[in-house]
Amino acid sequence: MEKKNWVIKKNRVNSIPLGSLLLGSLLIFALFLFPGCRKPAVPVEGPEKTPSVQDEEPSLTDPLTGRQVRRIIPLLAVMVDNLKGSRPQTGLGEAGIVYEIEAEGRISRFMALYAGDPPPNVGPVRSARTYFLHLVREWGAYYAHIGGSEDAKANIRRWGIQDLDDFKNSPGFWRDRTRRAPHNAYLNLAEALAGKAPEGILIYKDWIFEDPPAGPPNCRGFSFRYRQDYEVAYKFSPQRKEYLRFINGVPHTDRVTGCQLAATNVVIQYAPHIYLGDALGHIEVELVGRGEAEFFLAGKHIKGSWEKAGASAPTKFYDSEGREIRFVRGNTWIQVLRPGTLVTRIPPGGN
């Protein structure tokens, strides 16, 4: 790929017409009033290999979102870094489903699932943990990561997971020279999945999708913390019918597109976290079993529960009356939290 040099030139300005000043002021005001996607100052280096389908009409249904897409790839789960040095990440906005779960030190980590119209690259990529494998198994996805805890590596072999590991020289991994390790490892999806069979296509969960609910939202947003210095917040946009995502009060954006990340559906799944007692501070998150849950579905907030009968069984989500949740067409973020975590909700008339 041809490397682009981004240079800001300094020009001497002697005078500026009043009309230009007024136009510039209006443009700046519009950016604050209508926030959108802004190009990053530095592009991501690396391969952009991906089939060109921009001229095709969407005719396929993405099983992760229920939306119409141009192309569907073999289902892929990618472990994505969330340490401060990894932000902004690349490709989370195009994921159909994103799980956010604690790792060591109460620092969260993402697992992003891709099927319909995926991005060229995703990252930074990080290591595997066993509790994420329970989710990989229920989806039947290929699993991309870089190494992992000893028990996770053993369970990948034991359970026959379709493994894509940079430590095993799996294709598609590359390093971005503009970032410091370990936050510089990325995955090119086209290279990683070249020649791969469509794993997962027969065991996709049969999620039910519907249109956004009518009427005003019953909850305008919510926030919670994984640790004292890491707060996640979602604010509902009535125009977009999506929840805009923030980290520590700042929009969580994509490194390549500059767009703020957003979710049509957000699930809060409460699950026990157990410290394993080793020197590295590893934990186990009990995603097999049942527990309480909350659902934010394009402006509609309801409480309910989750249930996963076995390690490879699908996770089922239910409302308070035991009916299976119907998700709104669009992407979903699943926030796995410790029971008792304080979740602050913004009521319909709040800010």
Q: What is the amino acid identity at position 189?
A: L
pTM of the model: 0.86
Whole-angstrom distance, CA of residue 246 vs CA of residue 54:
30
Of 247, 314, 209, the C-alpha closest to 100 is 247
- In 3D space, the residue among 190, 22, 216, 226 whose CA is nearest the CA of residue 106 turns out to be 226
Domain-wise residue ranges, the chain = 60-193, 208-346
Cβ contacts of residue 145 below 8 Å, gap of 6+? 78, 79, 125, 126, 127, 128, 164, 165, 166
Distances from the Cα of 234 to the Cα of 250, 274, 323, 332, 351, angstroms: 11, 27, 25, 13, 12
Distances (CA, A) of 285 to 288, 330, 332: 9, 27, 20
pLDDT in tens, 274-296: 998 888 888 999 999 999 999 99
- Which pLDDT score, from 0 to 100, does residue 6 have? 32
Q: For 95-143, what is each residue's pLDDT tens digit?
A: 999 999 999 889 999 999 999 999 999 999 999 999 999 999 999 999 9
SS3 state at 27: helix
Name the helix (H) or strand (E) containing 302: strand 300-308
CATH 3.40.50.1220 fits 60-193, yes or no: no
Q: Domain 208-346: what homologous superfamily? A: YerB-like (3.50.90.10)
Same topology, domains 60-193 and 208-346? Answer is: yes
Reported as a single tens digit per residue, the pLDDT across 171-221 is 999 999 999 999 999 999 999 999 987 755 545 567 889 999 999 999 999
* Average pLDDT estimate for 242-258: 97
